[in-house]
């Protein structure tokens, strides 16, 4: 039992921070809000050279095979730097391929991901954005050696930058146990694929993606036919935990900016940091970020150990949704009018963290999962015991 990062983990985190502080200033995030692609390919290449893109991919496919916690720490630092790179979406898809893909798929795709030659994304949400098996309506119909995919996906990250998209679709009618879902890897440039950009609060790249009779070769099926739900669920949980890491990183930086500002801003003849009303806001910000960080680390660690982590993931996301939002809003409050100004950088963090609270599960959705884990299965509960969201 040691909930703190060990020496090696801390070193990886520190190195990531040093690199990003030097190479990824807030200016970049600001510029990329107006960029068509949404990320600077040179920075992406640098991340590949540093080994970050393959850090938790298998060694046999060119990765470093390090625990998911390491990927989490890198993601946390990218969040801190609000780095405008398609890291999260690429990792979510790549890790799912590494888990469930065929050897040929892994051979073909993972080394390219690690080298920085392949940007990926994934698509689950539809018009009803809840992350449940029954919300998947996109249809894939078998036709010889192909599937024919029709339907609309919502809130797809970085679709404009991605070469391929891992799509959850229905290959058989919905059933109670989630069967009937399959995962297809679709080339973003296939005939019949179109996208409509969404203008998000974060001003990052999300799209509504329309598949209109898109032919996808059978060899692009990831995992077994109709058996995609457990894979998708794991993908969503992993993606959620990594998003929490990103939120925690960004929220802590945002809190630090608020605290620094309070130490320097003079009012009533002293720095406002000398006022207890301000101090207590700052203390709360740190409590909240710390709480989110601890929950996130536990979720990542459990996943890495192959232990059930559905409860831990939902705990982390629900808490981060509420508390990281409270942190970035508090920091806006500490900054007074300055934080509201376009030229001041604070809003870059505020808008991103706020947008992230709505992605990969709202607080209500995650608490509903936790309630199922607590209340819908027999037996007395006890803190510290292993609990799982029932299927």
Partner 1 sequence: MDFAYTPEQEALRDNVRTFIQENVTDEVRQEIEDLGIRRRGPRVRELYAKLGERGWVGISWPREYGGQDGSRIDQYIVEEEFARAGITVGGAGSGAPAILAAGTEEQKKYFLPGLINGEISFALGFTEPQAGADLASLQCRAVRDGDEYVINGQKMFTTAAHYASHIYLMARTDPEAPKHRGISIFLIPMDTEGITVRPLWTIQNEPQAPAGTTYGDARTNEVFFEDVRVPTSCLLGEENMGWYVGAMGLNLDRVGASRYLISVQRDEDIVNYVKENDLGGMNLAEDTSVRDRIAELWIEAQVCRLMTMRSMSLVEKGGNFTYEGSAEKVFAPEHGVRTTETIAQILGPYAQLLNGSEDAVEEGVFAHNLMGSFQSGINHGSTQVMRDQIARRGLGMPRN
C-beta separation of 91 from 71 below 8 A: yes
- In whole angstroms, what is the distance from residue 197 CA to residue 185 CA? 21
Q: Which one of residues 50, 274, 355, 358 is an interface residue with partner 1 (CB under 8 A)?
A: 274
Backbone φ and ψ of 126, nearest 5°: -125, -155
Residue 223 vs residues 118, 174, 320: alpha-carbon distances, Å = 20, 18, 31
Tokens coding 24? 């990824």
Q: Which candidate, 169, 82, 88, places its Cα nearest to that of 123?
A: 169
Cβ proximity to partner 1, 135 vs 279, nearer residue = 279
Per CB under 8 A, which region of 164-172, 217-225, 242-250, 288-296 contacts partner 1? 288-296
- Residue window 7-26: x/- pattern of binding to partner 1, with contact defined by CB under 8 A: --x-----------------
Q: At a CB cut-off of 8 Å and minimum separation 6, what does 7 contact?
A: none
| Closer residue to partner 1, CB minimum distance, 207 or 330 | 330
Q: Hunting for tokens 């050279």 — which residue is that?
A: 49
Residue 273 lies near partner 1 (rule: CB under 8 A): yes
Binding mask 164-183 for partner 1 (x = CB under 8 A): --------------------
DSSP 3-state assignment of 348?
Answer: helix
Task: Tell me the two tokens of residue 334.
Answer: 């500490």
4 binds partner 1 (CB under 8 A): yes
Kind of pairing, strands 120-123 and 164-170? parallel
Q: Which two tokens stand for residue 4?
A: 């703190």
Q: How far apart are CA 109 and CA 122, in angstroms?
A: 14
**Residue 34 or residue 270: which is nearer to partner 1 going by CB?**
270
Q: Give 390's DSSP letter.
A: -
Distance CA 195, CA 188 (A): 9
CA gap 111, 250 in Å, rounded: 29
Q: Which stretch binds partner 1 (CB under 8 A): 28-36, 191-199, 296-304, 351-359?
A: 296-304
Q: What are phi and psi of 201, to 5 degrees?
A: -55, -35
Minimal distance, residue 316 CB to partner 1, in Å: 9
Query: Which string of x and - marks every residue 35-74 that binds partner 1 (by CB under 8 A)?
Result: ----------------------------------x-----
Number of C-beta neighbours around residue 238 at 10 A: 24
Closer CB to partner 1, 166 or 303, in the complex:
303
Closer residue to partner 1 in complex, CB, 172/287: 287
From 16-24, 218-226, 274-282, 351-359, give the range in contact with partner 1 by CB under 8 A: 274-282
**Which of 135, 195, 362, 368 is close enough to bind partner 1 by CB under 8 A?**
368
Can residue 358 be called a binding residue for partner 1 (CB under 8 A)?
no
Task: Write the interaction track for partner 1 spanning residues 299-328; mark x where CB under 8 A is met and - where it is not.
Answer: --xx--x---------x--xx---------
Q: Which is nearer to partner 1, 66 or 160 (CB)?
A: 66
Residue 12 · residue 56 · CB < 8 Å: no
Residues 6+ apart with CB under 8 A from 352: 29, 82, 202, 204, 250
State which of positions 233-272 bind partner 1 (CB under 8 A): 259, 262-263, 270-271
Rank residues 167 and 311 by Cβ distance to partner 1 and give the closer one: 311
Shortest Cβ 300–partner 1 spacing (Å): 8
Using rule CB under 8 A, residue 388 touches partner 1: no
The reply to whether 333 sits near partner 1 by the rule CB under 8 A is no
Find the DSSP H helices in 53-102: 68-80, 87-100
As measured in angstroms, the least distance from the Cβ of 92 to partner 1 is 22
Residues forming beta bridges with residue 222, ordered by sequence position: 183
Instruction: Write out the two tokens for 240.
Output: 């959620």
Judged by CB under 8 A, does residue 381 bind partner 1?
A: yes
Check if the beta carbon of residue 243 is closer than 8 Å to that of residue 88. Answer: yes
Please tell me whether residue 287 binds partner 1 under the rule CB under 8 A: yes
Q: Which residues bind partner 1 (CB under 8 A)?
A: 1-6, 9, 69, 259, 262-263, 270-271, 273-276, 278-280, 282-284, 286-287, 290-291, 294-295, 297-298, 301-302, 305, 315, 318-319, 364, 366-368, 370-371, 374-376, 380-384
């Amino acid at each position: 039992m040691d909930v703190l990062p060990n020496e090696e983990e801390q070193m990886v985190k520190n190195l990531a921070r040093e690199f990003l502080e030097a190479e990824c200033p807030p200016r970049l995030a600001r510029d990329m809000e107006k960029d068509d692609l949404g990320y600077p390919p040179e920075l992406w290449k640098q991340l590949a050279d540093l080994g970050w893109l393959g850090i938790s991919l298998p060694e046999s496919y060119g990765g470093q095979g390090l625990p998911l916690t390491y990927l989490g720490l890198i993601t946390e630092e990218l969040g801190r730097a609000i780095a405008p790179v398609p890291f999260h979406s690429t990792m979510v898809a790549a890790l799912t391929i590494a888990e469930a893909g065929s050897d040929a798929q892994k051979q073909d795709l993972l080394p390219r991901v690690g080298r920085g030659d392949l940007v990926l994304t994934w698509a689950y949400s539809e018009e009803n954005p809840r992350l449940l098996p029954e919300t998947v309506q996109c249809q894939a119909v078998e036709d010889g050696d192909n599937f024919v995919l029709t339907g609309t996906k919502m809130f797809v990250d970085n679709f404009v930058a991605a070469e391929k998209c891992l799509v959850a679709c229905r290959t058989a009618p919905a059933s109670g146990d989630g069967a009937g879902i399959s995962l297809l890897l679709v080339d973003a440039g296939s005939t019949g694929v179109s996208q409509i950009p969404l203008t998000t609060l974060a001003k990052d790249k999300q799209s509504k993606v329309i598949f209109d009779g898109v032919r996808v070769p059978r060899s692009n099926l990831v995992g077994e036919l109709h058996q995609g739900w457990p894979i998708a669920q794991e993908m969503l949980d992993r993606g959620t935990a990594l998003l929490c890491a990103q939120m925690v990183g960004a929220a802590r930086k945002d809190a630090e900016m608020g605290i620094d500002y309070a130490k320097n801003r003079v009012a009533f003849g002293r720095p406002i940091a000398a006022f207890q009303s301000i101090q207590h806001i700052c203390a709360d910000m740190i409590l909240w970020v710390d709480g989110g960080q601890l929950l996130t680390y536990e979720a990542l660690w459990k996943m890495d150990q192959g232990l059930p982590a559905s409860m831990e993931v939902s705990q982390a996301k629900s808490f981060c949704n509420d508390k990281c939002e409270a942190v970035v809003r508090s920091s806006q409050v500490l900054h007074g009018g300055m934080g509201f100004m376009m030229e001041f950088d604070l809003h870059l963090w505020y808008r991103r963290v706020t947008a992230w609270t709505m992605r990969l599960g709202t607080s209500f959705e995650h608490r509903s999962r936790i309630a199922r884990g607590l209340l819908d299965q027999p037996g007395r509960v006890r803190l510290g015991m292993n609990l799982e969201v029932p299927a």
